[in-house]
Amino acid sequence: MAFPEGFLWGAATAAHQVEGNNVASDFWALEHASGSSFAEPSGDACDHYRLFRQDIALLAELGFNSYRFSIEWARVEPEDGTFSQAAIEHYRDVLQACHDHSLTPVVTLHHFSSPRWLMELGGWEYEKTPARFAAYCGKVMSELGPLIPYVCTINEANIGPLIRDVLTATSQGGRDASGAPVGVTDGAAEDGENDRDALSPVEAVPTDRDWPKIFLFTFSEQGVSIVQRAHTAARQAIRDASPSTRVGLTLALQDIQPVPGGEKQAERTWAQTFEDFLPAMDGDDFLGVQSYTRSLVGPDGPLPAPDGAETTQMGYEFYPQALENVLRRAATAGMPLLVTEHGIGTADDSRRIEFIRQGLAGLERVLADGVDVRGYLHWSALDNYEWMLGYRPTFGLITVDRTTQRRTPKASARYLGALAQRNPPA
C-alpha cells in the first residue's frame, strides 16, 4: 500500500472508556443511579489513568506513530469554574509520553462525557454551555497547547440526530431479523448466536421518560445548535490560546445508501448528519471522519441489514468498504480529512484484520484519486468500556484482562502496526 510521507498511523481511546473512576462525570452518575439501565458500571475500566505510559510505549512498539485520546472535562473542571492543576499536569505527562515515544498526539476535548455539574445546569440543552465549554478548552490549551499539534473539540458532534433517527425507527417498530431494534444492538455472541441478555443502546434508555441532558441525547434543534455553537466558541478559544494547533471536530458518518424509493430520505439523512454541520466547520483545519458501516435507507428511514449479512457484536453490518464511500463524500467539506475512528466489535480477530485490510484498500484508492487524507486512527487501542453495553463488545487491538489489567496485543495490532511501518505482513 502507498501512503504519503507524514501519514498518521495509530489507534484511539476515550477517557471515560479507559481511564477508570471518572467519578465527577455525568456517565459515572448514570451508571450508579438507582435502576440504572447500564449493563455494568465502568469502575477501574482499563486503569489507563495509571497505566498510560505502558500503553503508549506498547503502541510505539507495535509500530504506530500517532495516538488519539481525550482529555476529560470532568477531571479538569470537577466543579463549575474550579480547575484542577493536578489533572492538567496528568495530561501534560500523557502528552509528554507521546512525544517521548514519537507518537503524534491527536487530542479530543470532549468525548461524550461531561462534568456532573453541567447536567445540573441543564447539560447540552443549556444556553450557556458553549461558553462553559470554550472556557474549559481555553484553559487546557493555554496550559498544554504547545504539546498538542491536533485537537478535536467535540467527538461525533452529529451523534444526536443519528440516535434520534434510530430511536424513531425503533418507536415505529423497526426491528432486525433477530427482533432487535434497527441500527444499534448488541448482537452476535462469541459462538455466533444472538445474545439477547445484553441491552442495546436503544433498549437501555426508556422512551417513556424525559431524556437526561447528556451529550448523547441532544436530539432537539436547540441541543444541536448548542453543540455547533460550542464547537465554534471552542475553536476561537483554542486559536487564541494556541495558534499553531490545528483544530477540527469529528463526525459519525455512515455510508448512507438508499433502496428504491428511499432516495429523498437518504438525502435528508445525509443533510442532517453532514451538511447541516458545514457552517459550524467553516474555518476548521481538518475534519475527523468516523465510519463503521453502511445504512440502508427506505422511504421511512433506516432499514435492517440484508438477510444473511455478516453482523458485528453491535448488530450492524460488517461493511468496511463504507470508509471509502464516506471519505469521498466528506471531501466535499473542502478541508483535509483524518480518519479518527474505524473499527469493529468482534470476538474473531481474523475478521478485524479483514475489516482493516478492506478499509485501508479503499482509503488507498481515495488517496490515489487526490483526496487529502492525513491519517488513519483505528478504534480502538484497547478492549474498553462500551458505554451502556459495558465490557462485552470488544473493539480493541489489544486485549485487557480486567482482573490483572494485563495487556496482550492481538494479531490485528501487529498487522496494522506492520502496515504503519510500511512492512505489510505476508
Q: Is residue 1 part of a domain?
A: no
- Over its length of 426 residues, how does the chain's per-residue pLDDT go in tens digits? 679 999 999 999 999 999 999 999 999 999 999 989 899 999 999 999 999 999 999 999 999 999 999 999 999 999 999 999 999 999 999 999 999 999 999 999 999 999 999 999 999 999 999 999 999 999 999 999 999 999 999 999 999 988 877 776 655 544 333 333 333 333 323 333 333 333 334 344 444 456 788 999 998 999 999 999 999 999 999 999 999 999 999 999 999 999 999 999 999 999 999 999 999 999 999 999 999 999 999 999 999 999 999 999 999 999 999 999 999 999 999 999 999 999 999 999 999 999 999 999 999 999 999 999 999 999 999 999 999 999 999 999 999 999 999 999 999 999 999 999 984 433
Residue 257: give its domain's CATH number. Answer: 3.20.20.80
Q: Is residue 3 part of a domain?
A: no
Buried (b) or exposed (e) across 121-138, using 16+ Cβ within 10 A? eebbbbeebbebbbbbbb
Cβ–Cβ < 8 Å for 155, 14: yes
Q: Is residue 389 part of a domain?
A: yes
Q: Is residue 426 part of a domain?
A: no
Single-letter amino acid code for the residue at 99: H
Q: How many domains does the chain have?
A: 1
| pTM for the full predicted model | 0.92
* The one catalytic residue among 143, 156, 203, 341: 156
Q: Is residue 199 part of a domain?
A: yes
Cβ–Cβ < 8 Å for 231, 153: yes
Q: Report the C-alpha gap between 45 and 35 in whole angstroms.
A: 21
Q: Is residue 131 part of a domain?
A: yes
Pairing of strands 8-12, 373-379: parallel
**CA gyration radius, the chain:** 20
Single-letter amino acid code for the residue at 401: D
Instruction: Identify the three-state secondary structure at position 334.
Output: coil
193, three cell numbers: 448466536
Q: What range defines the domain where residue 291 resides?
A: 8-420
> In 227-334, which ranges are E strands?
246-252, 255-258, 286-290, 294-298, 301-302
Q: Is residue 235 part of a domain?
A: yes
Length of the chain: 426
Please indicate whether residue 263 is annotated as part of the active site: no
Q: Report the C-alpha gap between 86 and 249 in whole angstroms.
A: 26
Q: Is residue 393 part of a domain?
A: yes
